[in-house]
A and B are shown apart, each in its own frame.
Chain A
């Protein structure tokens, strides 16, 4: 089954404790992206990657890191999480970043709470 898999689904952590949210897709997609969803703010892009070893900042990259060493994986790293990073996070992928005939496929989300 074609899917984007995020882990974990739920995570509670404390301020400053490094964490990684994993994302993997099995569709051989070149484009991958991370979003966060907050009440009243919708979906905002954190980082995206056009292909292996190619990453770029989205609209809200501060406090986050990403890496794309393999085509299928795109982990999101919070080196020193803070309470304002409490949010619902989504990983997404598509064949191309242009999205024409290639809509984004989203994972089921990771709900992160930073205390």
Chain B
């Protein structure tokens, strides 16, 4: 049973526009959410996180929104840059757990 779902395998946007990556989860016990970015031939790198007590967290061009009632989070990148082209993984932690559950990833392509 997939507890963290990224339903869009890929997304393509123009440079300078907004990129919105979505993630849905099923387990209401998840209390901490993270986004990781992965370039080819490299390991994932941490991007941004949000606790379930918040509904928004911002870091420069990256903003994560959390809608707990809908069990949905999204990552906004504004403005998008070609260097943002990568696979983005959503991950979630169950309260008190030492494990992260990852989604399948969304490949973002930002066209110049």
Q: Which residue of A lies closest to B48 (CB)?
A: A103
Is A48 part of the contact surface with B, judged by Cβ < 8 Å? yes
Whether B43 pairs with A92 at a CB distance below 8 angstroms is yes
Flag if A103 contacts B46 (CB, 8 Å).
yes
- Taking a contact as CB atoms under 8 Å apart, the answer to whether B43 and A109 are in contact is yes
Give the distance to chain A from B42, nearest Cβ to Cβ, in Å. 5
A42-B105, A99-B34 are known contacts. Are A4 and B99 too (CB-CB below 8 A)?
no
Q: Given the complex, which residues of A lie within 8 Å of B46, measured CB to CB?
A: 103-105
Residue interface mask A1-38, B partner, CB < 8 A = 1: 00010000000000000000000000000010001000
Query: Once bound together, how far apart are the Cα atoms of A54 and B57, in whole Å?
Result: 34
Number of residues on chain B facing chain A (CB within 8 A): 23
How far apart are the CA atoms of A56 and B97 in the complex, in Å? 12
Residues of B within 8 A of A104 (CB): 36, 44, 46, 100
Residues of B whose CB lies within 8 Å of any CB of A are: 6, 32, 34, 36, 41-46, 49, 51, 89, 91, 93, 97-100, 102-105
Closest 8 CB pairs of A and B: A97-B98, A106-B43, A103-B46, A42-B104, A43-B102, A106-B44, A42-B102, A108-B43
A residues touching B (Cβ–Cβ < 8 Å)?
Answer: 4, 31, 35, 40-45, 48, 50, 56, 58-59, 90, 92, 97-100, 103-109
